[in-house]
Chains A and B, each alone.
Chain A
């Protein structure tokens, strides 16, 4: 390789590294702050993990714990207090229940729908598909209020249903799967019919297994979106803390009588973010495949 080429490559890498730093910095701050004491955070000192001096935490004492209980290292305190102050496991469980239910029902709806749109000939198919495309254009926030009113009328505010129901029909999912199903050869479906399968059996036994990569991509889009969603849970969960999803849970640490204590707050955020990051790393390859798949069609 010539020196010129090295310089060219160097530029590319320099730009990419700057981009990576910009993206990683908030995560660095989050992890760092979840380990340090309040003084270190406020004076912006202590590097990544701080001095980790054993100390007594005043907010803890104010909350009603004995001084002995409240004396520990900052990282211990931050995580311990985060879990003490808010039922984080409960929030995480709510997050899992809500995102998984949404995803499973989305698949149950989207797959047969996408199959019909891609492979069955029926009167009005093009119209239905154009409606699907049209629905892709509707922003969630635009219909949030009517949705809320409807749920309120049905008496579903402050229930899991309110968190799940509005998202069960994913036009994006229908569109994505339909595009994927278009690439499945018709002969495969005909072969299944000749073997004696009905249309539903074809959807679940032939189309679903061949569509696993697309489905995984959709799973990541769907789970990430609903795990991180703050807007909708904030609207329909008005009082019941037992139904809080992780993003709502984080709000518990904001302000209040005990002032802004960033350590435990960041600790809770780390706890909420980690499951997604782990899932993303596991599915990373598929996720990128999924993006190219949607970009291609």
Chain B
């Protein structure tokens, strides 16, 4: 099986604390994404799971066994690296065989030439060949087996790297930004392939990325890490709809969530600019950050107490959607509003527009950046 538990993991390099008392339980068969801006410690955490890095304190448990003292090579995990890290001097076939040879052959059988005299080697070689062929068929790389990594394209190397990880049927796959070296189209394509692969293998995946889109699209749960802290660990939908803090809300979602300066009056009623949300927050008499996602705002012709106005600074046309970067009138904010092309095609840069909220959705955060709940619906 493949459960991984991290208990109170901390890591520091000299005086710099990179990971701060992290607790994560990864279920068997789960696709867990570690996501965060670069430098947040997500790769370090993955390397600690792999055994390539030693944690300063805390425990790593794989299948409920403490593996703190177990070396990377003995943890039965497979890893896919950002640069693929294929052996440049070996053919694709030998690259795929390498982990199997190391696992199946004993020390004598690995010796050059005289190793061939071992009676059991032939049988093992056959089973290795079968596994390699099976894996290369799954990944559609059979015709590449006799080439060297240098003769492959980025996408092909990516597949070979996946194959080298798969062939051993490990307890879990660890992936360190495996798609970030691919071009945009291929990256989107590989996302769906990886998801399919995960569905068919039913093995635990731990996936590190700085791209929140990858995390949202592929994972069963995602762990948002910022500055060495685990801020939220939940399903992608929950993280998107219900972020636990301002940083998570700002990190997840593209384009970024709009943050307005607002206040809660003595009764807890929340308002920003000239708009009254007509809802009460659990904290009263304080300044708040109000987060509204671009798709929850709309450009309108109306002008009333529910709308506010601004000037379009930049019009970003994505075909299916148009995003308007709007400077709000009082100069306090620059926000992003989603518009549907059929309604907003005549709006150009420099136009004055009114903006209203399309739904009740808004997220409140206090001055410390922590989430504040509404008290009424």
Contact = CB atoms under 8 A, between A and B. Distances in A.
Interface stretch (B74-82, B244-252, B290-298, B369-377): B74-82
B82 A187 contact: yes
B85 A209 contact: no
Given A194-B72, A195-B73, A195-B102, A210 B89 contact: yes
A185 B83 CA distance: 9
Interface of B: 47, 50-52, 71-74, 77-79, 81-83, 85-90, 98-99, 102-103, 164, 168
A61 B307 CA distance: 121
Contacts of A206: 87
15 contacts: A188-B85, A188-B87, A190-B79, A190-B81, A193-B71, A194-B50, A194-B52, A194-B99, A195-B102, A196-B73, A196-B99, A198-B73, A209-B87, A209-B90, A212-B89
Given A196-B102, A197-B102, A191 B73 contact: no
Nearest to A185: B83
A193 B102 contact: no
A187 B73 contact: no
Contacts of B89: 209-210, 212
Contacts of A194: 50, 52, 72-73, 77-79, 99
A191 B81 contact: yes
Given A196-B73, A197-B73, A198-B73, A191 B103 contact: no
Nearest to B89: A209
Contact of A195 (B47, B83, B98): B98
Interface residues of A, number: 17
Contacts of A192: 87
Contacts of A195: 73, 98-99, 102, 164, 168
Given A190-B81, A194-B77, A210 B88 contact: yes
A190 B102 contact: no
Interface in A194-245: 194-198, 201, 206, 209-210, 212
A190 B174 CA distance: 12
A252 B72 CA distance: 60
B79 A191 contact: yes
Given A190-B79, A191-B86, 14 more contacts: A185-B83, A187-B82, A188-B88, A190-B50, A191-B81, A191-B164, A194-B52, A194-B72, A194-B73, A194-B99, A196-B73, A196-B99, A198-B73, A209-B90
Contacts of A188: 85, 87-88
A103 to B, nearest CB: 20
Contacts of B90: 209
A255 B51 CA distance: 69
A70 B82 CA distance: 75
Contacts of A190: 47, 50, 52, 72, 79, 81, 85
Nearest to A188: B85
Nearest to B47: A190
Given A194-B78, A210-B89, A187 B83 contact: yes
Nearest to B81: A187
A104 to B, nearest CB: 16
Nearest to A212: B89
Select the residue from B85, B90, B164 with max chain A CB neighbours within 10 A: B85
A209 B95 CA distance: 14
A206 B52 CA distance: 17
Contacts of A201: 102
Nearest to A202: B73
5 closest A-B pairs (Cβ-Cβ)? A191-B85, A196-B102, A209-B89, A187-B85, A195-B99
B229 to A, nearest CB: 25
A201 B83 CA distance: 21
Contacts of B88: 188, 210
A194 B168 CA distance: 11
A265 B89 CA distance: 46
A60 B289 CA distance: 107
Contacts of B51: 193
Given A185-B85, A209-B89, A193 B98 contact: no
Contacts of A212: 89
Nearest to A201: B102
Nearest to B103: A196
B225 to A, nearest CB: 21
A137 B86 CA distance: 38
Contacts of B98: 195
Contacts of B77: 194
Contacts of B74: 196
Contacts of A193: 51-52, 71-73
A187 B81 CA distance: 7
Contacts of A187: 81-83, 85
Nearest to A189: B85
Contacts of B47: 190
Contacts of B81: 187, 190-191
B108 to A, nearest CB: 14
Contacts of B86: 191
Nearest to A196: B102
A289 to B, nearest CB: 17
B297 to A, nearest CB: 43
B342 to A, nearest CB: 48
A206 B99 CA distance: 13
B148 to A, nearest CB: 11
A206 B88 CA distance: 9
A200 to B, nearest CB: 11
A187 B164 CA distance: 14
A188 to B, nearest CB: 5
Contacts of B78: 194
Contacts of B82: 187
